[in-house]
Structure 1
Amino acid sequence: MQPFELEDLAFQINQSKTETQTIEVKGAQCGCPKRLYDTLSSFSNQDDGGIVVFGISEESGFAIEGVYDAHDLQKCIVDQCKQMTPLVRPVLTTCTIEDRQIVSAEIPGIDIAERPCFYAGTGRSKGSFVRMGDSDERMTEYEIYSYEAYRKKYEDELRSVERATFGDLDETELEIYLLKSKSSKPNLAKLPNNKIFELMCITKNGSPTLASIMLFSPYPQAYFPQLSIIATSIPGTEMGEVDEEGARFIDNKRIEGPLPAMLEEALRFARSNMKLKTTIDQDTGIRSDSPDYPIEAVREAILNALIHRDYSIHTQGMPIQIRFFQDRLEIRNPGGLYGRLSVDQLGKVQPDTRNPVIAVTMETLGLTENRYSGIPTIQRVLHEAGLPEAEFKEQHGNFEVVFRKKIPTVIAETSITLRAAHGAPTQADRENAIIQFCSIPRTRKEIAEFLGLSSVSYATKRYVEPLVENGALLLSIPNAPQSPRQTYRASNGE
């Protein structure tokens, strides 16, 4: 970073009066902050790294105060960076603003194979942090394990199931699998069946693997009770909302069985909990029915959850969740993205595969193509149905896919009118439009996009927070205003 870039950044922080996912401010008028370790860890553990700006204090309203001694401060920063494992190598920059020196430390993200970066003084379990919005949060035991699992290439799907024997697998389903495997792999077909089972990881030293139990046992939940799906249909837009009779769920089902059976049962649940929209072609008079969400997209999302969830001991007590709300569908599975893949790369690059045996076996059984086409397929069919793109979220060791219903025409028209208005729309124009837009819960990003603003933090500070303060908008998570999962809903005088 050049000094003039640091100066521009300082003014931006002063104007926005907020920290971000990649920006942290530290007051340093009286000396170097004693504990930079949490931020050094969290910035190092994200791909984009981050920048710590010294000489701007959040307590003073993000005023540019300057630092006590730029030269000594840089030495102290480097000393703390040396106490991290692996070492953090900051890029330091100084500049002067109205006779006040400020210092920045650019913290690069480290390679995923070296994560987590942690403070050696407290150790990996207590010294590893992750950035959540503008705060540093201690990593969970599972988040730390997930890095180790990738680095050491753990194969959780291949661990032996001690209580199970080969006789506990469905003989008919195994025979179908063998026939399909041999027909597509002639060299494999020359081998005896028991050798094929070992090579294809159906067994390990003669005992069934977790993968084979989940694929071929008539009832895998006898060994892993929570490796199932919990499917619910909620009468409102948030968990806890009830219908007129006080019921929390319209429908509620635990889905069990082997993976192919769970897939089919989950799709039956989805079909029964989606409304059908009937349209009549004015030219032909032909009637067509379309569900809330294309079943092809729903199938791909559920299939991905079953194949790519984490099957380690850390998550075997966590089921997949399918939740139908009035305005959206959420499909959440334990286990964040595996390996080097990031959310913005989904569907664009070939990912690392957490469970290759399950993926290949499902391909052999004809249940998936295993060609990394699932995400593009989801987005394509949603687009063809006139629905918003699917949203993908990763947080605290969970991965979530969200489908949203089509924005009502009146809301879309309001957005177009707002953007195309002659002259600049007033503050009141924007506030009224936001209130109408938030007739269903909206995220900060959605509101910023609706307003045509690239800065989510600016849109939040300038427009959203004043509406929350005067009661026009309600928080979905009132006790955690800064939560990344926060949404905003019009109060309508509540």
Structure 2
Amino acid sequence: MTSEELYEKLNQIQLMKCESQIVELKSAEKGCPTRLYDTLSSFSNQDEGGVIYFGIDEKNNYKEVGVYDPQDIQKKINEQCLQMEPKVRPLLTVVEKNGKYFVSAEIPGVDLTERPCFYQGKGRVKGAYTRVGDSDEPMTEYEVYSYEAYRKKYQDDIRGVSRVSLTSLNQQLLETYINALKDGKPNFSGMNTEAIYDLMSIKRNDEITLSATIVFSPYPQAYFPQLCITAIVVPGNEIGDLGENGERFLDNQRIEGNIADMLNGAIRFVKKNMRTRTIINPETGMRDDRTDYPITAIREAVINALVHRDYSIHTEGMPIQILMFDNRIEIHNPGGLYGRIRIDQLGKVQPDTRNLVLASELEVLGITENRYSGIPTIRKELEKYHLISPEFLEERGNFVVKFYKEAKEKIEQTEDENNLVLFCRTPRTRKEICDYLGLTSTTYAIQKHIMPLVEAGQIKMSIPDKPKSPKQLYYSE
């Protein structure tokens, strides 16, 4: 940054009086801090990097104390940066303010393939840090591993499982899969079965793979007890809330089986514990049973968790979790985002795939499309239900999806809609509304213009139990 920008940043710090995800403050009034490596590491390990400001005493109400020697501190900062792996190349800026000198060190984020950036003196595992709010926290062993797994393209979904035999798999399902693979592929169809097993990673080094186990085994939990889904219903909005009789959970289930079994079991659990509202179409008289959340969105979120969770040895003891609260539903998926994709890019760019073979097997079996359409589908389904947008979070090796029951606020009611509501202050027939709108079809007028206002509660029906009654009137209050 320029000296003018640094001067302005110092003023902003005095207004905000706090550190942040990308701001770290150091006093340096009496010397250069001797332990910068935790912040150098954490800033280097996030895309946006960060800035360390020297000359501000955080413990003394953010007093501007200045640095002891602007020349020497730059040298000492560079010396510590050279002790990092990969080496950190800071951009240093000096400014004078009120007779005192201040220094900023801009720390760029290193490329994903070079992470984690760590302090050489403590090694890759103990010397790597991540930024959590305004704090530098040691990386977990799994967080360090996840970078290595991406960099070296580990395929944890096809690691061998020594205890599983070919005969323990569902032979009918396996045959269905092989036949689907052969369809339309004459060269492939001519291969013998054993060769196909090796080629398609059913087997690897004479061992059944993990992906084959969790897709084709009738009960994969015999080998991996925690590769399941745990689902609970909480009587409140937070874990720890109790029901009327002191119960912690209104429902509590362990959902097991292969991928297809767990998907179906999860949907059954959510359906059982959701309310269902009945909406009557006033024109057709047909009833539409609407659940708290769209089932299609729930299915996409669960299948995403099953397909894209981390299947490494670091997370095989962690189940997928479904938590149903009064105001929301959460789906927790072991393993953070994989590769370069960020939360704000979900559903907008094609992501890296963590479990390529597993995703391909489920695509062939028709369980998932594997076309990266899950997130857009979730958003569209919630939009149809007039619910607020889903929330996606990455919580240090755990990916979370949240759906809320809260209805999406109507951003702005158009002038025509306002006028129609005012027109219906006097109860109106279908024909009167049709004539007012200048339309020829009463069905179109009601479905297109009135029903959205009925669903929004702006307009009501005089005979709601008999929506097709010729005496039906529409009115607003």
What CA distance in whole angstroms lies between the structure 2 residues aligned with 1:12 and 1:281?
56
Q: CA 1:281–1:97 in structure 2 vs 1: closer, same or farther (change >3 Å)?
A: farther
- Would the aligned equivalents of 2:233 and 2:323 in 1 still touch at CA under 8 Å? yes
1:457 match: none
1:238 to partner: Cα distance = 0.8
1:483 match: none
Local SS of the residue matching 2:24: strand
What CA distance in whole angstroms lies between the structure 1 residues aligned with 2:408 and 2:207?
55
2:445 match: none
Local SS of the residue matching 2:59: coil
1:398 match: 398
1:263 match: 263
2:70 match: 70
Amino acid at match of 2:90: P
Amino acid at match of 2:4: F
- Would the aligned equivalents of 2:238 and 2:325 in 1 still touch at CA under 8 Å? yes
1:56 to partner: Cα distance = 1.4
Amino acid at match of 1:56: I
- Would the aligned equivalents of 2:230 and 2:253 in 1 still touch at CA under 8 Å? yes
Q: Residue deviations 1:84-112, cap 9 Å, x none?
A: 01100000111122222111101000011
Q: CA 1:387–1:67 in structure 2 vs 1: closer, same or farther (change >3 Å)?
A: same
Q: CA 1:11–1:204 in structure 2 vs 1: closer, same or farther (change >3 Å)?
A: same
Local SS of the residue matching 2:331: strand
Map 1:8-27 to 2 at 5 A: 8-27=8-27
Amino acid at match of 1:343: I
2:140 match: 140
What CA distance in whole angstroms lies between the structure 1 residues aligned with 2:185 and 2:249?
47
Local SS of the residue matching 2:6: helix
Q: CA 1:71–1:394 in structure 2 vs 1: closer, same or farther (change >3 Å)?
A: same
Map 1:114-125 to 2 at 5 A: 114-125=114-125
Q: CA 1:134–1:184 in structure 2 vs 1: closer, same or farther (change >3 Å)?
A: farther
2:183 match: 183
2:368 match: 368
Q: Does 1:196 align with 2:196?
A: yes
What CA distance in whole angstroms lies between the structure 2 residues aligned with 1:408 and 1:155?
41
Q: Does 1:213 align with 2:182?
A: no
Local SS of the residue matching 1:174: helix
Q: Residue deviations 1:208-257, cap 9 Å, x none?
A: 10110000001000000100000111111111111010011111100010
1:56 match: 56
1:184 to partner: Cα distance = 4.6
1:323 to partner: Cα distance = 0.5
Local SS of the residue matching 2:7: helix
Amino acid at match of 1:5: E
Aligned-pair Cα RMSD in Å: 1.6
1:386 to partner: Cα distance = 0.8
Q: Residue deviations 1:89-146, cap 9 Å, x none?
A: 0001111222221111010000111111111111111110000011000000110111
- Would the aligned equivalents of 2:386 and 2:407 in 1 still touch at CA under 8 Å? no
What CA distance in whole angstroms lies between the structure 2 residues aligned with 1:95 and 1:245?
65
More moved, 276-285 vs 203-212: 276-285
Q: Residue deviations 1:340-374, cap 9 Å, x none?
A: 11111111111111100000000000111101111
What CA distance in whole angstroms lies between the structure 2 residues aligned with 1:8 and 1:187?
68
1:168 match: 168
Amino acid at match of 2:338: Y
2:427 match: none
Map 1:207-356 to 2 at 5 A: 207-356=207-356
More moved, 139-148 vs 52-61: 52-61
1:383 to partner: Cα distance = 1.3
1:185 to partner: Cα distance = 3.5
Q: Which has the larger radius of gyration?
A: 2
1:10 to partner: Cα distance = 1.4
Aligned residues: 413
Q: CA 1:297–1:165 in structure 2 vs 1: closer, same or farther (change >3 Å)?
A: same
Amino acid at match of 1:303: I
TM-score scaled to structure 2, two decimals? Answer: 0.84
2:386 match: 386
2:30 match: 30
Local SS of the residue matching 1:48: coil
Local SS of the residue matching 1:59: helix
Q: Residue deviations 1:158-191, cap 9 Å, x none?
A: 1111111111111010011111111153432221
Amino acid at match of 1:205: N
Q: Residue deviations 1:303-343, cap 9 Å, x none?
A: 00000111111110000001101111110111111111111
Amino acid at match of 1:100: K
What CA distance in whole angstroms lies between the structure 1 residues aligned with 2:186 and 2:289?
45
What CA distance in whole angstroms lies between the structure 2 residues aligned with 1:369 and 1:408?
29
What CA distance in whole angstroms lies between the structure 2 residues aligned with 1:88 and 1:369?
42
Percent identity for Structure 1 against Structure 2: 55
Amino acid at match of 2:15: Q
What CA distance in whole angstroms lies between the structure 2 residues aligned with 1:286 and 1:222?
47
What CA distance in whole angstroms lies between the structure 2 residues aligned with 1:77 and 1:30?
15
What CA distance in whole angstroms lies between the structure 2 residues aligned with 1:185 and 1:169?
25
TM-score scaled to structure 1, two decimals? Answer: 0.81
1:277 to partner: Cα distance = 2.2
Map 1:78-97 to 2 at 5 A: 78-97=78-97
- Would the aligned equivalents of 1:379 and 1:389 in 2 still touch at CA under 8 Å? yes
- Would the aligned equivalents of 1:166 and 1:206 in 2 still touch at CA under 8 Å? no
Local SS of the residue matching 2:266: helix
What CA distance in whole angstroms lies between the structure 2 residues aligned with 1:176 and 1:60?
70
Q: CA 1:100–1:283 in structure 2 vs 1: closer, same or farther (change >3 Å)?
A: farther
1:47 match: 47
- The runs of 5 or more residues in structure 2 that have no matched partner are 414-477
Amino acid at match of 1:14: Q
What CA distance in whole angstroms lies between the structure 1 residues aligned with 2:26 and 2:361?
52
1:428 match: none
Amino acid at match of 2:64: I
1:207 to partner: Cα distance = 2.1
1:158 match: 158
What CA distance in whole angstroms lies between the structure 1 residues aligned with 2:13 and 2:284?
59
What CA distance in whole angstroms lies between the structure 2 residues aligned with 1:34 and 1:206?
53
Local SS of the residue matching 1:89: coil
1:407 to partner: Cα distance = 4.4
